[in-house]
Amino acid sequence: MAQLWGGRFTKETDKLVYNFNASISFDQKFFHQDIRGSKAHVTMLAKAGILTDEEKKQIIACLDTIVNDVENGTLSITDEYEDIHSFVEANLIDRIGDVGKKLHTGRSRNDQVALDMKLYVRDELEEVQDLLKNLLTELHKLMKENTETYMPGFTHLQKAQPVTFAHHIGAYMEMFKRDYDRTLDIYDRMNYCPLGAGALAGTTYPLDRNMTAELLDFYGPTLNSMDSVSDRDYVIETLSCFATIMMHLSRFSEEIIIWNSNEYQFVELDDAYSTGSSIMPQKKNPDIAELVRGKTGRVYGALTSILTTMKGIPLAYNKDMQEDKELTFDAIDTVKGCLALFTGMISSMKLNKPAMEKSAMNGFTNATDAADYLVNNGVPFRDAHGIIGQLVLYCIDNDKSLMELSLEEYQAISPVFKEDIYDAISLEACVSKRNTIGAPGKEAIQKTIEINENFLNNI
């Protein structure tokens, strides 16, 4: 058991207590961030005259050998150390003796861990941005290819009005664009460096916090040393953003599962993204979409957990905060995995355009347009609604669609109907007339696609 703080203790820590307290099993995940922070700290200490240049060089060179040895497997991170900070410092001292003991001058594990976690979350946020960009690029492609792929739009999971596949996908495009923007907002708000805050009250050494902030690519140092060591808002914001991403992926997965079902057959998932059944030979199941939907709960759980952990913590650092890591790491890995797999799944799935179109033609998705036809011919909307309602009932009784009624059948209910009713309620007409901003009509969707293209070119 290698501990940094044995001095004032007369007894060994109880083994169970040691294990309960230790974090090395999970905080080794930010080993590289810890090294980066230490290098910046040491560089600044030398510049401020607190360490000599020679000492700085020795420490940095030794930190590099530790990284190399861990990477090539000659040094392993074991639970003999309490946490990753202790592991690095103990190995440094092992290798270069007294000089190694100077690394922690003017630093506490409290500002060190605050920095490591922030660096880690910041790095991962950037990876999630890249994955979101890949997904958005794929969705954009699908939109461009499907401005005339008709399908039913639903409310209450009942057919409502015809839309296009481009339009439906465009809804998800908006959601993931907002998610992308959220990651930028979080980045901007979190990007201040806590290093130099010490345990809670700064230090008496003349640390140059602007310098370490700059070396670590932060906008600047954090402003209050007590807040610096006990702020985990950025973890909460990140998990909230990730929970939202998962909620969007989960809704989308649910739709893909429905579209891929035997009853709908709007899409067919690629074999590489489907699985079979051990007993039913005919099965091809959408497990990836189901898993994405299912894993959403883990990310929500991580958000609930950190919110609850933080709510009762008095200033400044308390050990409760060590609980910020495991579920956050899991949530980050989950979101990254789901984004990558989801993008692969939708880029390889086949669209069954005839099935979508056929489904859009049935189920009276053009009933609103038939009512609008009457309105355009002078009938007040409420009356038009009633007339079309009667027609729909007639169609249901006679197992016909509105398109299949004869003009005589139309005119038996209202003389306002003329031959041009058929053009007015064709799928193409229903969609192409909808050209208000954000609607599925050709001109409107083209404008949206241009805006999206611009968005993608600027991220």
The verdict on 435 binding ligand ARG (CB under 6 A) reads no
The verdict on 23 binding ligand ARG (CB under 6 A) reads yes
Whose Cβ is closer to ligand ARG: residue 81's or residue 342's?
81
The neighbouring-strand residues paired with 150 are 164
Q: Is the four-CA dihedral 254, 256, 260, 264 of positive or negative sign? A: positive
Site stretch for ligand ARG (CB under 6 A), options 164-172, 294-302, 313-321, 388-396: 313-321
> Cβ–Cβ contacts within 10 Å for residue 208, how many?
18
Whose Cβ is closer to ligand ARG: residue 275's or residue 322's?
322
Please name the residue ranges forming H helices in 146-232: 165-190, 209-215, 225-230
**Rounded distance between C-alpha atoms, residue 458 and residue 174, angstroms:** 15
The verdict on 306 binding ligand ARG (CB under 6 A) reads no
CB of 324 to ligand ARG, least distance (A): 7
The verdict on 110 binding ligand ARG (CB under 6 A) reads yes
* Helix or strand (DSSP H, E) at 395: helix 381-398
Among the listed residues 96, 113, 136, 302, the single contact to ligand ARG using CB under 6 A? 113
The verdict on 250 binding ligand ARG (CB under 6 A) reads no
The verdict on 321 binding ligand ARG (CB under 6 A) reads yes
The verdict on 109 binding ligand ARG (CB under 6 A) reads yes
DSSP 8-state secondary structure symbol assigned to residue 220: E
Among the listed residues 3, 322, 347, 377, the single contact to ligand ARG using CB under 6 A? 322
**Rounded distance between C-alpha atoms, residue 250 and residue 292, angstroms:** 6
Catalytic positions: 156, 277
The bridge status of strand 350-351 relative to strand 267-268 is antiparallel
CB of 127 to ligand ARG, least distance (A): 22
Q: What is the number of the residue whose Cβ is closest to ligand ARG?
A: 322
Whose Cβ is closer to ligand ARG: residue 235's or residue 256's?
235
Question: Tokens 């020795």 identify what position?
Answer: 58
- What percent helix, strand, coil does the chain show, rounded to 5? 65, 5, 30
* Helix or strand (DSSP H, E) at 278: none
**Rounded distance between C-alpha atoms, residue 454 and residue 452, angstroms:** 5
**Rounded distance between C-alpha atoms, residue 207 and residue 334, angstroms:** 38
Q: What is the distance in angstroms between the CA of the first residue and the CA of the last residue of the chain?
A: 48
Whose Cβ is closer to ligand ARG: residue 82's or residue 237's?
82
The verdict on 86 binding ligand ARG (CB under 6 A) reads no
Whose Cβ is closer to ligand ARG: residue 41's or residue 109's?
109
3-class SS at 111? helix
Site stretch for ligand ARG (CB under 6 A), options 44-52, 91-99, 285-293, 318-326: 318-326
**Rounded distance between C-alpha atoms, residue 162 and residue 164, angstroms:** 7
Among the listed residues 83, 208, 237, 357, the single contact to ligand ARG using CB under 6 A? 83
Site stretch for ligand ARG (CB under 6 A), options 37-45, 120-128, 317-325, 417-425: 317-325
CB of 313 to ligand ARG, least distance (A): 12
Among the listed residues 120, 187, 317, 364, the single contact to ligand ARG using CB under 6 A? 317
CB of 222 to ligand ARG, least distance (A): 17
Whose Cβ is closer to ligand ARG: residue 274's or residue 309's?
309
**Rounded distance between C-alpha atoms, residue 349 and residue 366, angstroms:** 28
The verdict on 3 binding ligand ARG (CB under 6 A) reads no
CB of 26 to ligand ARG, least distance (A): 9
| CB crowding 438-448: b at 16 or more within 10 Å, else e | ebbbbebbeeb
Residues in binding contact with ligand ARG, number by CB under 6 A: 10
Nearest-CA neighbor of 103 among 184, 44, 150, 158? 44
Site stretch for ligand ARG (CB under 6 A), options 7-15, 71-79, 105-113, 200-208: 105-113
Report the largest interatomic distance among the alpha carbons of the chain, rounded to a whole angstrom. 101
Query: Rule CB under 6 A: which residues touch ligand ARG?
Result: 23, 27, 83, 109-110, 113, 317, 319, 321-322
